[in-house]
Amino acid sequence: MHKSTLIILFGLLLYSCNTTQKKYCKLSIYNKQIYCGILAPIDIHCKNYKNIELIAEGGKLEKMTDTNYHFTCDLMLEKDSVIDFKIINLDTPEKDIIYQKSVPIFQLPKPYAAIDKKTGGKIEKKYFSGQRGVFVRLDSSFTKRWNITYSINVLSFTLAATINNKEIQLKSNDARFTLEQKQLISSLQHNDSIQIKDIKVQNFDRKIWELEPLLFKIIDSEEQLH
């Protein structure tokens, strides 16, 4: 084969490679996970497709830009559910699926109750008496990772203590101590124990939890904490 012929063939091959456009798509999810109750930013990247669209069932998908979407899963999804994200080609009659990715849905971590930041142990009576009620929190590492603020609704809790060999239980129907509960706290003496139990809350994913009880031992001053 002549050298000139080889050069022509090589040129044709190079031209064919340059004119053949490689097509591909990929999808990326913020933090690579989706939790019910938390908005999940999703980016799609497709090469050499003109008109594409991301679709999904099992939640609300909002298009922000040509390449960015916000997805919020259906709060009624069962545990271990999976969302199928599909990128379709709008230029084909059947709107062909050109990319598909199945993503598992995670449930929010269980919240926990606290008095301010205390979850049990010794507590100064004056400090305890100055609190307005029960706080409910999520693990701080989780909230920092997802950069979220949240509100967890306390439905009810019970304050229980034994005074003069008599067990007293007082219920509140929200996060705040009732007047009777505050009076009970004020009547406690050094070394008395008090429990906050039957703590029922509704997380921002609408799931209702009963949280672990809190058990405190009353002390007269902060010096006795050590």
**Which of 39, 206, 28, 53 shows the shortest CA–CA distance to 103?**
28
220: which residues sit within 8 A by CB, 6+ positions away? 124, 125, 190
pLDDT at 19: 45
Domain boundaries, the chain: 22-106, 112-225
Q: Residue 63 corresponds to which tokens in the numbers above?
A: 């298009």
Rounded-to-integer distance, Cα 135 and Cα 117, Å = 8
Q: CATH for 22-106? A: 2.60.40.10
**Which of 219, 218, 214, 217 shows the shortest CA–CA distance to 195?**
214
pTM, entire model: 0.70
Which stretches of the chain drop beneath a pLDDT of 50?
6, 9-10, 15-19
SS3 category, 1:
coil
pLDDT at 1: 52
Q: CATH for 112-225? A: 2.60.40
pLDDT at 32: 86
Q: Residue 94 corresponds to which tokens in the numbers above?
A: 């059947």
pLDDT at 143: 85
pLDDT at 129: 92
Instruction: Answer whether 138's CB lies under 8 Å from 113's CB.
Output: no
pLDDT at 4: 55
Q: What is the pLDDT of residues 18-69, one digit of tens each?
A: 445 688 899 999 888 898 888 899 999 999 898 999 999 988 999 999 999 9
Rounded-to-integer distance, Cα 36 and Cα 81, Å = 10
